[in-house]
Structure 1
Amino acid sequence: MDRLRSALLEHRRLLAALCTALAVLLALASVRRPPDQVEVAVAARDLASGTVLSARDVTSSLLPAAAAPQHLLSSDDLVGRRVGGPMRRGEAFTDVRLLAAGPVDGLPPDHVVTAVRLADAAGGQGLRVGDRVEVLAVATGAGGPRASVAASGAVVAALPDPDGSDAPTLWLTVPRETALELARVGVEAQLSVVAEAGDD
């Protein structure tokens, strides 16, 4: 016992240094240990509303599990799908960011997706894919400007590109007859949209 005590006393500085180094290594390992991560499919570049995804539009990124959004889609589910709104590079793909598997999949009978060119550069702001809107037409005649409802119950299929032209294009799902009427009215009048009240 005396011999062991003497040895410990003789090498106490070395033992203290070793204990300190071990504590530092354990602390560094704790700091460097990455959190639980998940692989997420994200946009490989900025995407305009309505873009049909190809393999070059999709890449993957690691995100902390706690920060990853819900309802993520895998890369295998994305190619051929249509983006329902503008996306920035690195943004994760979730179920609400995409339309159906094709541009007209899931449409009611005799419905089509039609483009409506809006007069206001801010047209479409605040809308989301799936919102119901009224299309308003303002025409100028001999008696002055005249406003009318060109369509109601139209469903937003894709949003205008925020970096696009001064006259944004909104894509709407409407009955085929309504699409023909919107095409006719769009030649004669300026169009705008207002959101309809929801059911809840």
Structure 2
Amino acid sequence: MSFDPVQTGRRRSNRAHRSLSPSWADRLSDLAHPGWARALVARRVLAAALVCLALALLARGDPDSARSAVVVAAHDLQPGVVLTEADVELVELEVGTLPDGAVTAVSDIDGRTLAGPTRAGEALTDVRVLGPRLAAAAAGMDDARIVPVRLADPAVTELLREGDRVDVLTVDPDTPANPDRRSGATVLASRAVVVLVTPSENGRDQRERVVMLALPASEATTVAAASLTSAITVTFQ
């Protein structure tokens, strides 16, 4: 094979011209087939970006790891107990683990009546004590009230549990007793929700036990008024 100095010079000249004034085709070819040095630089840039991102996330921290002081039960508590500072304590818990409505100040529940059994260390919420939040949550409406009643038959009280739905009835004392008539019974409220039955204590008269019912405001007034003068009972749903 003969060596042609003229052709060799032309090829060298074409390569030099291409490096100085690359065409669009040359540029696309370079992008499609990057050199080893260019690929190495790209990898280093990407690695540096990932490191910066990791450092930023580490500095930001996990938002759920933030902590807040909440009120928890200091020991096991029974429903119906009137809470005091000796029954609760403030502890710091992760915000992401807190239930909705968690109480954050002891003064918010001091002197309030507990509506359900609570284990030691359990966070207290606004629906665990008697109040408007519990009434609204139990009755399923914002305009709700909690009414205390004493049932005419203590045995019925023994059967009631928190969450039961009942109809509240009374009998007009002026209505003659007649087993064939039902007109003497008056339904004061329907679908009332039992939120608390005061616990039975040794030596306590069973007739003194109180049943707390969550009702719409209008029915709550009717039941409260009737309980002052008439015998009250309930039927289960």
Structure 1 residues 53, 188: CA separation in 2 closer, same or farther (over 3 Å shift)? closer
Contact kept, 8 Å, 2:164 with 2:194, in 1: the verdict is yes
Counterpart for residue 218 of structure 2: 177
Instruction: Determine which structure has more spread, i.e. the larger CA radius of gyration.
Output: 2
Counterpart for residue 189 of structure 2: 151
Counterpart for residue 188 of structure 1: 229
Distance 2:158 2:121 in 1: 21
Distance 1:137 1:86 in 2: 30
1:43-74 alpha-carbon deviations (Å, 9 max, x no partner): 36x7561x342331248xxxxxxxxxxxxxxx
- Report runs of 4+ in structure 1 exceeding 3 Å deviation: 40-44, 76-79, 91-102
Superposed, 1:92-111 pairs within 5 Å as 92=120, 99-100=127-128, 103-105=131-133, 107=136, 108-111=141-144
Distance 1:128 1:96 in 2: 20
1:127: Cα distance to partner?
Answer: 2.4
Scaled by the length of structure 2, the TM-score of the pair is 0.46
Structure 1 residues 93, 122: CA separation in 2 closer, same or farther (over 3 Å shift)? farther
- Tell me the secondary structure at the aligned position of residue 173 of structure 2: strand
Structure with greater strand percent:
1
Scaled by the length of structure 1, the TM-score of the pair is 0.53
1:82: Cα distance to partner?
Answer: 4.2
Paired letter, 2:115: G
Q: Which has the higher contact order (CA 8 A, sep 6+)?
A: 1
Distance 1:78 1:195 in 2: 38
Work out the percentage of aligned pairs sharing the same amino acid. Answer: 29
1:134-178 alpha-carbon deviations (Å, 9 max, x no partner): 112123325227322221111112112312443321111101110
Structure with greater helix percent:
2
The answer as to 2:112 corresponding to 1:84 is no
Contact kept, 8 Å, 1:133 with 1:152, in 2: the verdict is yes
Counterpart for residue 200 of structure 2: 162
Tell me the C-alpha RMSD between the 2 structures: 3.8
